[in-house]
Structure 1
């Protein structure tokens, strides 16, 4: 009887402690003043640092995060004449806690770095599937774009992992969203006719070239909000060969895929190939560039017999 009483007392004390901690954390968040995605005297609950900059002023920490691909949030503290800690992965204000260092600053960056003054031409082909061979879907983004690999594109230089992602461009007539569905090796950006006509000023159309600012958007290309896995072909029951891709990831770039302990091979169209195994009850796991993963059964990855046509 005494043992039962003691055990229940321990459980009760643990619950009280947990409630107290949660209450303090909640109160701490309420005490923080959040302005322009920045607060003072705070820190984040996750240790997901990927870069530190020392001897830096407080007001330069946020701009460093904005200019660094993969940085989603940051913390500045007074250590070592000012240390800026750049962090990665999804985060929200719910992950904020009060810091013992009341001079510290933390913040969240919502977008990716802007790449300025990219040489841009008009794409001359129409009704094109493009190198990415994207699935025929209900697209929220109507404009297509071909992405080159010039050094001036910086982190946006074409790589198969960017197939199906959304770029936000501004060529002088405001911001437009476009789906990466083709490559343009040796060049900058190539706008398909529909986007060229909408986004490029008349003076640039006469010169047949433009200069555009561009960033990797976190918008989904499809009208749905869920991640969407597709086979790269219509072979969804071939146990000897699988071609698989993950789309609609809200800007998260997939860099690897694994099934039954084996790594897939990335192909030029952004799909991962697996050989000699794979039933519909197997799970494929896709890994994102800055951490995190998503798993899905092969039976939930439809075939891609019909490719999206772009013009």
Structure 2
């Protein structure tokens, strides 16, 4: 049985690498990314929970080819990236998508990385950081903010955040595989049966390791964090 489970996890990792290209690892750097200014004040597609964050500078990432393995996908939501636009590096957090484009820097991030250059276009390098985005240690499971996931036994929508650069590639409950909720890092579970809060969620990371958490231990924060 152990060999079967290990083989399934390896298969998941191979599939993710085939579909998305190799998942980024900490320290790998991509240069010369087209970068623009984003002046909004919003939650963003990632729908991250309202919480105390260690990283306060938000960005949106796109899907142009030059981003390589940093093209936007839900797995990157809430992760810390290190950007450098010629004025020194800055740790930023992925909060939104910028499909069809490159990097999009919110006002606070733009000002720090460009030394208060007027809004426009610049170029930046990008790499994945091992820093944790939140002001607490270790990964934590969250219900998707604003959903009824915490009290609807027939619908659960949960994600694992604060993994310190480890990309989550899948989540299962009783061998039922969750699917991503739109562009956010939360997995939906709905399969016609009650999903008791004592059920265990198994999150699989890109390096093949797993993180297990009981549904009852997932944090329910109704509000989304706003970024600017």
Bin of the TM-score, shorter chain as denominator length: 0.7 to 0.9
1:243 aligns with 2:160: no
**Greater helix fraction, Structure 1 or Structure 2:** 1
* Structure 2 residue matching 1:258: 3-state secondary structure: strand
Tell me the residue number matched to 1:113. 28
Assess, with a 3 A threshold, how the Cα gap between structure 1 residues 257 and 207 changes in structure 2: closer, same or farther: closer
Residues in 2 aligned to 1:70 and 1:246: alpha-carbon distance in whole angstroms: 17
User: How far does the alpha carbon of each residue in 1:43-87 deviate from its partner, in whole angstroms, 9 at most, with x for none?
Assistant: xxxxx9x9xxxxxxxxxxxxxxxxx95697xxxxxxxxxxxxxxx
Point out which structure has higher relative CO (alpha carbons under 8 A, 6+ apart): 2
* Structure 2 residue matching 1:135: 3-state secondary structure: coil
Unmatched segments (≥5 aa) in structure 2:
1-9, 14-20
How far residue 124 of structure 1 moved from its aligned partner, in angstroms, is 2.4
Alignment match of 2:213 (pick from 281, 296, 305): 296
Residues in 2 aligned to 1:240 and 1:71: alpha-carbon distance in whole angstroms: 34
Question: Does the CA-based 8 Å contact 1:165-1:220 persist in structure 2?
Answer: yes
Assess, with a 3 A threshold, how the Cα gap between structure 1 residues 302 and 71 changes in structure 2: closer, same or farther: closer
User: How far does the alpha carbon of each residue in 1:107-141 deviate from its partner, in whole angstroms, 9 at most, with x for none?
Assistant: xxxx3310001010010212x00000001111000
Tell me the residue number matched to 1:144. 58
* Structure 2 residue matching 1:145: 3-state secondary structure: strand
User: How far does the alpha carbon of each residue in 1:86-120 deviate from its partner, in whole angstroms, 9 at most, with x for none?
Assistant: xxxxxxxxxxxxxxxxxxxxxxxxx3310001010
Runs of 4+ displaced beyond 2 Å: 68-72
Output the aligned Cα RMSD. 1.9
What pairs up with 1:1-311 in 2 under 5 angstroms? 111-126=26-41, 128-201=42-115, 205-206=117-118, 208-232=120-144, 233-267=147-181, 268-275=183-190, 276=192, 277-311=194-228
User: How far does the alpha carbon of each residue in 1:170-189 deviate from its partner, in whole angstroms, 9 at most, with x for none?
Assistant: 00111101110000001110
How many residue pairs match? The answer is 205
Assess, with a 3 A threshold, how the Cα gap between structure 1 residues 307 and 285 changes in structure 2: closer, same or farther: same
Residues in 2 aligned to 1:207 and 1:262: alpha-carbon distance in whole angstroms: 46
Instruction: Select the structure of larger CA radius of gyration.
Output: 1
TM-score (normalised: structure 1): 0.63
Assess, with a 3 A threshold, how the Cα gap between structure 1 residues 145 and 214 changes in structure 2: closer, same or farther: same
Tell me the residue number matched to 1:83. none
| Greater Cα shift, 231-240 or 296-305 | 231-240
TM-score (normalised: structure 2): 0.85
Question: Does the CA-based 8 Å contact 2:172-2:178 persist in structure 1?
Answer: yes
User: How far does the alpha carbon of each residue in 1:193-216 deviate from its partner, in whole angstroms, 9 at most, with x for none?
Assistant: 0011111145xx347111101101
Question: Does the CA-based 8 Å contact 2:37-2:119 persist in structure 1?
Answer: no
How far residue 237 of structure 1 moved from its aligned partner, in angstroms, is 2.0
Unmatched segments (≥5 aa) in structure 1:
1-47, 51-67, 73-110
Residues in 2 aligned to 1:70 and 1:280: alpha-carbon distance in whole angstroms: 31
